[in-house]
Amino acid sequence: MSAVLLIAALAVARGVRYSRLGLRLDAIRLNPQAATLAGVNLFRVKMTALLISAAIVSLAGSMYAVFLQYLDPDTAFSFNTSVNMALFAIIGGVGYWWGPILGSLILVPLGEFASLQLTGSLAALGQFSYGLLLVVLILVQPRGIAGWLSKVWRRLVEEKR
């Protein structure tokens, strides 16, 4: 079920990105005043984006609740969970519809590896190295891994021409 939800969420994200709504959201992001002058209804576009986002998040939260089978604030709404969600998007690439999944495919195994290999008195070193790697990635690739992959892909396509 979660794989189906993931595919549906990615399809919706890609659909929104390349639709009129996505163009309007880009216009609002770049220059809200110019978008308004061009006839974009800021309130309506932002509310539509909020509703789509809320629908996806509510479905994902429901699936998470079913997975946990018990909810309490410390497990369901912990600070680490919120930070990880943001980091998945930042490291993967915020401007790309597939960036957050790429970020999670990189960060989840990396975090698990660090916590399994560095235990006991070295546990703090695992968290430190994980944080240091994140800072380096953010400084070296501010557009995320997806931005870097997109740039490499464009270079490969241009070389073949």
**Co-location of 91 and 123 in the same domain:** yes
Cβ neighbors of 88 (< 8 A, separation 6 or more) are 100, 101, 103, 104, 107
Reduce the DSSP state of residue 125 to 3 states and report it: helix
**Co-location of 58 and 34 in the same domain:** yes
- Please tell me the predicted confidence (pLDDT) of residue 22: 94
**Co-location of 66 and 83 in the same domain:** no
Q: Which domain holds residue 128?
A: 78-161
Q: Residues 50-89: pLDDT tens digits? A: 999 999 999 988 888 888 888 888 877 778 778 888 888 8
- Number of independent structural domains in the chain: 2
**Co-location of 91 and 106 in the same domain:** yes
Residue carrying the six token digits 């235990």? 119
First to last CA, the chain: 42
Whether the model clears a pTM of 0.85, i.e. scores above it, the answer is no
Q: Which one is predicted more confidently, 42 or 143?
A: 42
Residue carrying the six token digits 């595919």? 7
**Co-location of 87 and 158 in the same domain:** yes
Q: What is the mean pLDDT of residues 100-116?
A: 85
Reduce the DSSP state of residue 96 to 3 states and report it: coil
**Co-location of 67 and 106 in the same domain:** no
Q: How far is CA 100 from the centre of its chain?
A: 3
